[in-house]
Structure 1
Amino acid sequence: MGRSPCCKKVGLKKGPWTPEEDEKLLAYIEQHGHGSWRALSLKAGLERCGKSCRLRWLNYLRPDIKRGKFSLQEERTIIQLHALLGNRWSAIDTHLPKRTDNEIKNYWNTHLKKRLTEMGIDPVTHKPITDALGSAANLSHMVQCINR
Structure 2
Amino acid sequence: MAGTSANEQLFDHLVRSETRLYNAVGERLKAEHGIVASQFEFLRYLERHPQSRVADLAMNFAIGIGATSKGIDRLEARGWVRRVRNPDDRRSSLVELTPPGRHLAAAAGETFRTELETLVGSVLGEDQTEVVIAALAALRGALEERNAGLPAG
Using the size of structure 2 for normalisation, the TM-score is: 0.25
More helix by share: 2
Higher Cα Rg, which structure: 1
Task: Tell me which of the two structures has the higher relative contact order, counting C-alpha pairs closer than 8 angstroms and 6 or more residues apart.
Answer: 2
Using the size of structure 1 for normalisation, the TM-score is: 0.26
